[in-house]
């Protein structure tokens, strides 16, 4: 099984990079936010604690679905207990870690805040998180999954394409197994 895990803090360009990697490699994409949003559409929205619970449930779905694919791109913010579970489940995956200038994170989060963003997200429930996220994003680190780390500096307009090229290089360098 080949897993390409896209990680990073909110606003760092994970969804954009993951979509580009999935499309370029013709791989399915499992993304945390659409699953969380679907759960909220069925189960309802609520406070930040409810948002966290739905996010954890969405992450668990990705943890269980990813191994059913021979190859897949998985994208999300792996924080708290989710982070430890992601390290366990995706050990040996290729990781694409998205990062950018904290001020760019703030601009991206402000831009998407009122632009049709689903109300289940914590920044929609508590807009003060938008101002807190830039400093928090600077503390997020790669999961270090072992099969290769690609750092996508999403300040760059060509970050997604560079990530695709680097993922291809990491995959090409992997030893061929008998499976």
Q: Is the pLDDT of residue 178 over 70?
A: no
- If one compares 138 and 16, the residue with the highest pLDDT of the two is 16
Element (H, E) at 1: none
Residue 5, C-beta contacts closer than 8 angstroms, at least 6 positions apart: 73, 74, 75, 78, 86, 90, 93, 94, 95, 96, 143, 145
What's the confidence (pLDDT) of residue 135?
Answer: 82
Which CATH superfamily does the domain covering 2-172 fall into?
P-loop containing nucleotide triphosphate hydrolases (3.40.50.300)
pLDDT band at 132 (very low <50, low <70, confident <90, very high): confident
Q: What is the pLDDT confidence band of residue 175, given thresholds at 50, 70 and 90?
A: confident
Q: Does pLDDT of 174 surpass 90? A: no
Give Cα separations from 35 to 6, 55, 94, 98 (angstroms): 16, 8, 22, 20
* Backbone phi and psi for residue 176, each to the nearest 5 degrees, phi listed first: -80, 130
pLDDT of residue 164: 98
Task: Tell me the pTM.
Answer: 0.93
- Average pLDDT (28-48) is 97
Residue 173 makes CB contacts below 8 A (sequence gap 6+) with 148
Percentage of the chain lying above the pLDDT 70 cut: 98
């Amino acid at each position: 099984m080949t897993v390409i895990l896209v990680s990073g803090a909110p606003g760092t360009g994970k969804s954009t990079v993951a979509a580009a990697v999935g499309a370029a490699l013709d791989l399915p994409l499992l993304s945390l936010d659409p699953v969380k949003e679907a759960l909220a559409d069925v189960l309802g929205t609520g406070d930040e604690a409810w948002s966290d619970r739905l996010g954890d449930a969405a992450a668990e779905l990705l943890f269980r679905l990813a191994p059913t694919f021979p190859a897949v791109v998985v994208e999300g913010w792996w924080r708290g207990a989710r982070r430890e579970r992601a390290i366990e489940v995706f050990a040996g995956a290729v990781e694409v870690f998205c990062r950018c200038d904290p001020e760019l994170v703030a601009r991206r989060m402000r831009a998407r805040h009122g632009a049709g963003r689903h109300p289940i997200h914590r920044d929609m429930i508590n807009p003060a998180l938008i101002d807190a996220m830039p400093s928090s994003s600077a503390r997020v680190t790669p999961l270090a999954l072992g099969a290769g780390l690609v750092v996508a500096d999403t300040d760059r307009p060509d970050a997604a394409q560079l990530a695709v090229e680097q993922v291809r290089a990491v995959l090409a360098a992997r030893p061929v197994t008998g499976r």
